[in-house]
Structures are given as C-alpha cells and as structure tokens.
C-alpha cells in the first residue's frame, strides 16, 4: 500500500535530524534500517523502523521546535508509518507539539511539591516576562506535572530546540530567563547545580552508615568508568558470570527481592519466567519513566551512579538470556539522560557492553530511549507500545510481558531501583539480602521524602523502619504535621497518629496505605489540602491515556465533583457528591484496564475517609 501524503515538504534541518536518528541507531546497534516508500502494518520490514518513531519525533522537535506537516510527511515516508498514525503518536505526548510554538519552552512544575512552594510564583512571573501560558515568539512557558525534582522544589525544565534541555531546581523565574539567554555551552551551566549530591541525598553528607543502593553516590565520578571500577563497579557482573545465569536467578529468588516500581512483584519469579521462555529473542527493558508525582529516587540514582544501572542491566540481560536491553527514561530527565548515554558509550568502548561482554562469551547491549511526557508510559505494557512506536496505551493482560512483550517476545521489565538492588544481591548473596526486613519486604528501600520536612531528599533505610524514624532522618517535620501522602498520587494519606507504621509492604497494607513508589510527602497544617487533591485529580485527568471509559470519563467526573465539593457548591447535597465520588471510585477500580485507572481515585478516597476534606469547622478540630 502506498502512502498518501500531502505536498508539504520537510526542511533540510528536519531531514538531516531524522537521518541522524537512523544512522545513530545503526551505529549503536548494528541494525540495518532499510528505507522503503511502502508500508505494511505488520511486516518485519516496517516493524524494524516504526520503533524509531519516538526518537525521530524528538529529533524533529529539537531541530525545529514543532512537528510541521512537512516533518510529519517525512517521518511517514522514511519510517513507513501511515501519516495518521504519526499524528496519533505525536499528539499523545505532552513534550511534542504539532502546531508552531516558541522554540524555547519553560515547563513550570505546579504539582504537589512545587505548586505551593514557589511554582505558582514562577508561573505568575513568567506570565509577566514571557506572556500567557504557551504564548510567545522566542520563548514561552507551560505548566507541567511533577518533574521528579521535588526535593529541590520548585522545579522547571527548559526544553530547547537546537540546544540541550536542562532542569533548574530550585528555580526562580529569573534563573529560568537567564538560562534562556545564556550562551550555548558544552556542559550546561544548570547541570553544575546537581554536582553537590548531598542536596538530593542528605545521607551522603553524614557517615553513610547503612547506605547500600546509595553507597557510591557523591563518591564516584558519574562520568568515569575507571572511577566506577575503583568504587567496586563491575564486581557484581564478574560474580554473576562466575555463578552462571541459573544461579544468578536463584540468588535473586532467594533474596526475595520484590519490584520497586509499585507492583512489588517478585523479581526472581519474573526473571525465571523469561529465562525459561522457549521463544527468542528475549528482551530486557528498564523502566526509568519515573513520573509518579513526588517520586525522584530513580533520577537521583541514574544521575549520580549511572554505571550502576548499566552494570545491573547487563546482569539482568545475562541471567535472562537477553541480548538487548532498552532503557526507557522519562523525557523530562535531561541530566540523567546525558549521564546514562555517556555511561553506555563508555561501557561499550571498554567491552562491558557489546558482542563479548567481559570476554565471557555473551552478548548484551543497551539502547537508551526517551519518553516524551506521559505518565502512563511507566505502565509496563504502555511502555512497550511506546517503544514500538505506537501510542502509549496499555495492552490487555494477559498475556503478560514475560510471555508476549516487546515486539511480541518474552520480555523482562524492571524498575531502576529494583535493578540496583540486584548489585547488592550479588554482593552479599540472596539469603543475606533477605535477612534485612522480612516477608516480601526484604533489603533496603529508597524513600522520596519531600514537603514539610527540614531536609527533603532520597533516603535509604532498611525495610521495617517506621515512618516516624524516616521523618526524623529527614530532619523532622517543619510546622505541625497534618498528614503524610504515602505512595504518591496513586497512594493515600496517613495521619499523625499512624506514624509508627513500619514501612513495609505488609505494614502499610495493615493500615490501608501503600508504599507505592516510595513517596513520603509531609503536609503541615498550613497546607491547602483541598488544592492538593484537586491537583491530583487534574493529574489523573491529564494523564489518562483515554483508552477505556471508566478512566477516560471517570477522571473528568471525579475532578468536577471534587471541584464542587471543595467550593462548597454541591449538586444536590454533600452526601450526593460523596456517593457520586464513591460510585466513580468503584468503576475506576473495578473496570479500568490498567493501574492508572485503578488508582486514580485512591488519594481522594483516602482524604475523604480521613476527614481531610471535611468542611472547615471540623477540619480545624481534627488538625489540632
């Protein structure tokens, strides 16, 4: 079938940028990309190009600042993707635009940690400086959900055509405009603010006792493979090769390591399933899409110890028989992306990746892929679709990815933190790992502590540490504690009388809460809890992929009902609104396709149950 395209032609800059993506893919992977002027939806020839659609869309954005009709035609032709599909994919992502826009964009986080902590002021200042949201010739600003920099709130991200993206946090409107005007540098000046790791990982400023996953942070040079080796790097991989794949999986199974991405699935079981799958090839995917509001632990690990992830992925690939791993990192993490890209290149140059890793006779290599602004792409099957160049819509399960994953092949998907734990499992052995904590909660856990605490940051503690101890570790609560948001937007609230809950999967479940992605957001009595809930409801409405009715329409109705409730303007009575919210919660939890819909009502439900949304008189009573 021939493509039918309009007459619009891509600029030479766009054509070059797209050609560079194809060339880079060939260079990095050895895959030959054929260019045809035909397409089929299912043929192998088309599949081996369509997966380059998202990288190519990024390249077009970087070249021109938007996806023009000519660029769209060009992508359709070069990648053999129907133009309507290119459009469908491009309009799925918040970082891509299909209408002309200023080439330099400041994404201002107005989410739960930043909004009340300077984010709104930045938005107001930029409105004066640059114009209303989304408007401006050379530069504009737009609102953004959590940028994964909450410990440094408020945060902004500069997305700039023709030069590297950078994060600024803590940010001011002045810092953002200054960076917009700054000359292009090899190493963006804004990156230097992240050199002092004790800001994000306060424990590295102390005696470092108990640090395992964070052990190298602040000590190791994130850009040097030699320094990584000098700090114990690549001993775990050597150990893995000594053990052989089967025994590596046994150690991981013995460690009782559970996934840190939110679902807490036993990693050993997942690995074993893929390792045994007769169908080939197997694929490894590292889920570094970290977009749950309040979560920033994976970013910190990747920024400060990138080789650790490269090594851990290599071990996972070796154990499960994968020759290729995809590292899918959220599009809003420019520094971590740069560091990882560099680490992958450096590892490849030294024979730690490639055809004969360590001379041990196995092949493994990593391809880095950037997301483009879609929380849903952290859901594992949406992530697979995104990698394949489709819209990031979750798939129906079963079949699970370990049976039918990337390109229909058996696929291991693991979270970043899960993979760093594998290094520890190999260092100490499965049983020793399992001796910390208990049940399904073994080893150490990273928590993203932010909000009303003295020293926000990523903290590593043994499973079983209580919430109170964790808050003390973060310097204690600033002001009077009203509640803690545990587990992120998809989690729920706990109250000051529940601070002795042990932070384990079992302990939090016991009080009807969840660890989720490790978010611990402290909320003081001065905080505007209704506004926070409305932000969470808006988040789910924005981030729903739109595929299934319960979530697509349910998140809209939830946001509307909450708005009425908070404004004290219910339809009917407060009781009818509460019943409506309950009806919505049930259908979203029961009948949605994926975890986004299942958890979209969680925070609202929890706040209502704890009386955090009661009319002012009674809330005052409760807070004291």
Partner 1 sequence: MTITEPVLLGGIRRLVTLTVDGTEVRVPEGATILDAMPDGDTPTLCWAPNLNPINACRVCVVEVEGSRVLVPSCARKAEDGMVVNTDSERVRHSRRMVLELLASSTDMSQASPDVQRWMDEYGVDAERYGPPAPPADDRDTRHAGHHHTPDGTTAETVAQPVKIDNDLYVRDYSRCIMCYKCVKACGTDAQFTFAISAAGRGFDARIATEMNNPLPDSACVYCGNCIGVCPTGALKSVSEHELREAGDWHPEEETVTTTICSFCGVGCNLELHVQQGQIVNVTSPSDHSVTHGHLCIKGRFGFQHVQNLPEERRG
Ligand X SMILES: Cc1cc2nc3c(=O)[nH]c(=O)nc-3n(C[C@H](O)[C@H](O)[C@H](O)COP(=O)(O)O)c2cc1C
Three-state secondary structure readout of 550-587: HHHHHHHHHHHHHHHHHHCCCCCCHHHHHHHHHHHHHH
Shortest distance in whole angstroms from residue 596 CB to ligand SF4: 4
Establish if 403 lies at the interface with partner 1 (CB under 8 A).
no
Shortest distance in whole angstroms from residue 110 CB to partner 1: 11
Shortest distance in whole angstroms from residue 85 CB to ligand SF4: 13
SS3 594: coil
Burial bucket for residue 614 (CB in 10 Å: 0-12, 13-18, 19+): middle
The nearer residue to ligand FES, 382 or 406, going by C-beta atoms, is: 382
Out of 595, 614, 619, 623, the residue judged to bind ligand X by CB under 6 A: 595
Show contacts with ligand FES in window 149-168 (CB under 6 A): 149-150, 153, 155
Q: At which residue do the structure tokens 């540098």 appear?
A: 185
Rounded to 5 degrees, φ, ψ at 457 are 160, -175
Task: State how far the Cα of 359 lies from the Cα of 450, in Å rounded to an integer.
Answer: 44
Rounded to 5 degrees, φ, ψ at 159 are -105, 115
Establish if 564 lies at the interface with partner 1 (CB under 8 A).
yes
Out of 117, 291, 508, 592, the residue judged to bind ligand X by CB under 6 A: 291
Query: What separation, in Å, do the N-terminal and C-terminal C-alpha atoms of the chain show?
Result: 70
> For binding to ligand SF4 (CB under 6 A), which residues are involved?
376, 394, 544-548, 551-552, 592-594, 596-597
Residue 266: strand pairing partners:
258
Out of 52, 59, 61, 146, the residue judged to bind ligand FES by CB under 6 A: 146
> Minimal CA–CA distance to 298: which of 268, 237, 340?
340
Q: Give me the long-range contacts of 241-244 (CB less than 8 A, separation at least 24).
A: 241/318, 241/358, 241/360, 243/426
User: By Cβ distance, which residue is nearest to ligand SF4?
Assistant: 597
Show contacts with partner 1 in window 31-90 (CB under 8 A): 41-42, 69, 72, 76, 82-88
SS3 314: helix
Establish if 113 lies at the interface with ligand FES (CB under 6 A).
yes
Task: State how far the Cα of 452 lies from the Cα of 341, in Å rounded to an integer.
Answer: 35
Instruction: Report what 1 binds from ligand FES, partner 1, ligand X, none; CB cut-off 5-8 Å by kind.
Output: partner 1
DSSP-derived pairing of the beta strands 156-160 and 166-168: antiparallel
Establish if 583 lies at the interface with partner 1 (CB under 8 A).
yes
- The 74-93 contact track toward ligand X, x by CB under 6 A, reads --------------------
The nearer residue to ligand X, 477 or 596, going by C-beta atoms, is: 596
The nearer residue to ligand FES, 254 or 289, going by C-beta atoms, is: 289
Instruction: Report what 261 binds from ligand SF4, ligand X, ligand FES, none; CB cut-off 5-8 Å by kind.
Output: ligand X
Packing angle, helices 416-428 and 235-243, rounded to 10: 70
Shortest distance in whole angstroms from residue 115 CB to ligand X: 21
Task: State how far the Cα of 546 lies from the Cα of 559, in Å rounded to an integer.
Answer: 15
Show contacts with partner 1 in window 357-396 (CB under 8 A): 373-374, 391, 393, 396
Residue 158: strand pairing partners:
106, 166
Shortest distance in whole angstroms from residue 324 CB to ligand X: 18
Angle at 86 between CA 84 and CA 87, to 5 degrees: 65
The nearer residue to ligand FES, 143 or 409, going by C-beta atoms, is: 143
Establish if 91 lies at the interface with partner 1 (CB under 8 A).
yes
Size of the site for ligand X (CB under 6 A): 22
79: left (phi > 0), else alpha (psi -120 to 50), else beta?
alpha
The nearer residue to ligand SF4, 210 or 595, going by C-beta atoms, is: 595
DSSP annotation string for 73-138:
HHHHHHHT--HHHHHHHHTT-TT--SS---SEEEEEE-STTTGGGTHHHHHHHHHHHH-STT--SS
Shortest distance in whole angstroms from residue 547 CB to partner 1: 5
Instruction: Report what 593 binds from ligand FES, ligand SF4, ligand X, none; CB cut-off 5-8 Å by kind.
Output: ligand SF4
Shortest distance in whole angstroms from residue 594 CB to ligand SF4: 3
Task: State how far the Cα of 92 lies from the Cα of 374, in Å rounded to an integer.
Answer: 8
Shortest distance in whole angstroms from residue 251 CB to ligand X: 16
| Residue pair 612/493 in contact by the 8 Å Cβ criterion | yes
Q: At which residue do the structure tokens 């959590």 appear?
A: 146
Shortest distance in whole angstroms from residue 553 CB to partner 1: 4
Three-state secondary structure readout of 407-445: HHCCEEEEEHHHHHHHHHHHHHCHHHHHCCEECCEECEE
Half-sphere CA count of 477, side-chain side, radius 13 A: 19
Shortest distance in whole angstroms from residue 263 CB to ligand X: 4
* Piece in contact with ligand FES (CB under 6 A), picked from 109-117, 362-370, 451-459, 551-559: 109-117
The nearer residue to ligand FES, 268 or 518, going by C-beta atoms, is: 518
Out of 61, 109, 201, 581, the residue judged to bind ligand FES by CB under 6 A: 109
Establish if 613 lies at the interface with partner 1 (CB under 8 A).
no
Binding site for ligand FES (CB under 6 A): 109, 111-114, 146-150, 153, 155, 293-294
Binding site for ligand X (CB under 6 A): 259-263, 265, 287, 289-291, 375-376, 378-380, 413-415, 418, 594-596
């Amino acid at each position: 079938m021939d493509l039918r395209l309009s007459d619009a032609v891509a600029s030479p800059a766009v054509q070059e940028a797209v050609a560079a993506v194809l060339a880079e893919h060939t260079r990095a992977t050895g895959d030959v990309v054929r260019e045809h002027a035909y397409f089929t939806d299912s043929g192998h020839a088309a599949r081996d190009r369509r997966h380059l659609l998202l990288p190519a869309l990024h390249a077009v954005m970087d070249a021109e600042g938007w996806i023009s009709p000519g660029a769209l035609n060009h992508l359709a032709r070069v990648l053999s993707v129907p133009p309507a599909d290119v459009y469908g994919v491009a309009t799925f992502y918040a970082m891509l635009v299909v209408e002309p826009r200023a080439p330099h964009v400041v994404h201002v986080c107005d989410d739960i940690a930043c909004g009340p902590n300077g984010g709104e002021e930045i938005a107001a200042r930029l409105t004066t400086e640059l114009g209303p949201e989304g408007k401006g010739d050379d530069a504009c600003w737009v609102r953004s959900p959590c940028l994964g920099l909450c410990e440094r709130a408020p945060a902004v991200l500069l997305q700039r055509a023709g030069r590297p993206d950078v994060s600024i946090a803590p940010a001011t409107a002045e810092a953002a405009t200054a960076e917009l005007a700054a000359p292009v540098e090899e190493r963006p000046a804004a990156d230097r603010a992240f050199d002092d790791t004790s800001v994000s990982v306060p424990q590295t400023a102390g005696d470092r006792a108990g640090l395992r996953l964070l052990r190298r942070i602040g000590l190791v040079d994130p850009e040097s493979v030699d320094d990584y080796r000098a700090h114990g790097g690549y001993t775990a991989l050597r150990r893995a090769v000594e053990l052989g794949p089967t025994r590596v999986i046994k150690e991981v199974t013995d460690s009782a390591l559970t996934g840190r991405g939110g679902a807490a699935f036993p990693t050993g079981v997942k690995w074993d399933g893929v390792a045994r799958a007769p169908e080939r090839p197997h694929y490894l995917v590292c889920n570094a899409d970290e977009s749950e509001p309040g979560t920033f632990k994976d970013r910190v690990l990747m920024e400060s110890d990138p080789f650790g992830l490269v090594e851990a992925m290599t071990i996972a690939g070796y154990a499960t028989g994968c020759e290729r791993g995809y590292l899918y990192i959220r599009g809003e993490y420019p520094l971590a992306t740069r560091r990882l890209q560099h680490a992958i290149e450096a590892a490849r140059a030294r024979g730690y990746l490639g055809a004969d890793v360590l001379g041990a006779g196995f092949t493994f290599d990593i391809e880095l892929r950037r997301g483009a602004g879609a929380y849903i792409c952290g859901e594992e099957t949406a992530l697979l679709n995104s990698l394949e160049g489709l819209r990031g819509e979750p798939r129906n399960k079963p079949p699970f990815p370990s049976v039918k994953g990337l390109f229909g092949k058996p696929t291991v998907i693991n979270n970043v933190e899960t993979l760093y734990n594998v290094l520890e499992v190999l260092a100490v052995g499965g049983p020793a790992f399992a001796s910390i904590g208990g049940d399904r909660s073994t080893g150490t856990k990273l928590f993203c502590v932010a909000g009303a605490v003295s020293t926000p940051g990523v903290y590593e503690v043994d499973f079983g540490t209580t919430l109170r101890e964790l808050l003390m570790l973060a310097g204690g609560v600033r002001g009077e504690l009203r509640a803690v948001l545990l587990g992120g937007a998809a989690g729920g609230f706990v109250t000051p009388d529940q601070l002795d809950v042990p932070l384990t999967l079992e302990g939090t479940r016991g009080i009807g809460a969840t660890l989720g992605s490790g978010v611990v957001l402290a909320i003081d009595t001065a905080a505007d809890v209704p506004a926070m809930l409305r932000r969470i409801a808006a988040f789910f409405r924005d981030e729903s992929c739109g595929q299934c009715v319960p979530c697509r329409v349910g998140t809209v109705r939830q946001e509307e009902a909450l708005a009425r409730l908070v404004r004290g303007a219910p339809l009917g009575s407060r009781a009818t609104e509460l019943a409506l919210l309950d009806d919505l919660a049930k259908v979203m939890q029961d009948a949605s396709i994926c975890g986004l819909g299942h958890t979209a009502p969680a925070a609202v439900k929890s706040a209502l149950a704890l009386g955090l949304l009661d009319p002012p008189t009674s809330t005052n009573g409760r807070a004291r």
